[in-house]
Amino acid sequence: MGVADNLERELPYLRRYARAVTGSSQRGDAIVEVAIASLIAAEDPATDKVGFFCNLETAIREALPEAKAGAEPDPASRARRALLLTAMEGFKVDDTATILGCPTDEVGALMVEAEQELTRSLQTRVFIMEDEPLVAAHISQIVSELGHDVVGQAVTRDQAVESCRTLKPNLLLADVQLADGSSGADAAAIITEELGIPVVFITAYPQKLLTGRGGEPAYLLAKPFRPDMVKAVVSQALIQSMTAQ
């Protein structure tokens, strides 16, 4: 399989990572485009997933506000990227070290640092929009164990919108397809516009929301998910929201 085929296969995951790091689908996709252009222009381009992510990580570092200001990149951001690479993207520690350009034994320290930062700074009110009872219960258990307060749940768009208007959560976890056939994306659009809160989408088909089209979400959880994946993505969404305020 050639470079182009490999890149096409990994492109949704490159977008997912860049969006989560930046907190913006538009900005994340733009950084991916820069990384791809750099890859194409290289004399000896990367050919596998680790190489593609190395190339993307370089583009991310160059796009960070600290890089433009001539300062050192935020070490906390680097620690969170280590957590996203391992928990969300499923890289092994040695591959994560390669992508971040650091010694392998430093990755463990970065992940501990990220965990400590998240524990210190992130306790908030969460609303869950999910029509599968077992999935909803699993998500609720995970976010509760992270110290968050689950203030409500809904299985339809209208129920979610009305409940969120009353409860005013600080984070929304939303399935894409709801019980009555209504759209979780539509509900999330209304809720985020009115409350200005981040949303993490939960879907069994994440590739459908990672095509590079306008209006796609910044944060995605793929079903089935692991607790560490939920923690990494939810925490990154909250931190990016706090930073933007």
Higher pLDDT, 67 or 99: 99
3-119 carries CATH number 3.40.50.460: no
- Do the two domains 3-119 and 123-225 of this chain adopt the same fold? no
pLDDT at 70: 55
Q: What does the alpha-carbon distance between residue 122 and residue 112 come to, in Å, rounded to a whole number?
A: 15
DSSP 221: E
Report d(CA 125, CA 84) in Å as an integer. Answer: 22
pLDDT (average), residues 103-132: 85
Task: Report how far residue 175's alpha carbon sits from residue 201's, in angstroms, rounded to the nearest whole number.
Answer: 6
CA 218 to CA 60: how far, in whole Å? 15
pLDDT tens-digit map of 186-209: 999 999 999 999 999 998 888 888
Dump pLDDT digits (tens) for 154-192. Answer: 999 999 999 999 999 999 999 988 888 888 899 999 999
Average pLDDT, the chain: 88
Q: What is the pLDDT of residue 32?
A: 96
Specify the DSSP class assigned to residue 85: I
Q: Are strands 199-203 and 171-175 parallel, antiparallel or unpaired?
A: parallel
Residue ranges per structural domain of the chain: 3-119, 123-225
Question: Residue 120 — very low, low, confident or very high, per pLDDT cuts 50/70/90?
Answer: low
Interacting residues of 75 by C-beta distance below 8 A, sequence separation 6+: 113
What is the topology classification, in CATH, of domain 123-225? Rossmann fold (3.40.50)
Q: Are 221 and 230 in contact (CB under 8 A)?
A: yes
pLDDT above 80: residue 3:
no
Q: Whole-angstrom Cα distance, residue 14 to residue 36?
A: 10
Per-residue model confidence (pLDDT) at position 106: 94
In this prediction, residues 4-13 reach a mean pLDDT of: 90
- Name residue 154's beta-bridge partners: 129
**Tens digits of per-residue pLDDT, 59-95?**
998 887 655 555 545 655 888 899 999 999 999 999 9
The model's confidence at residue 27, banded by pLDDT at 50, 70 and 90, is very high
Total-model pTM: 0.80
Helix (H), strand (E), coil (C) string for 103-161: CHHHHHHHHHHHHHHHHHHCCCEEEEECCCHHHHHHHHHHHHHCCCEEEEEECCHHHHH
Whose CA is closest to 145, among 235, 221, 214? Answer: 235
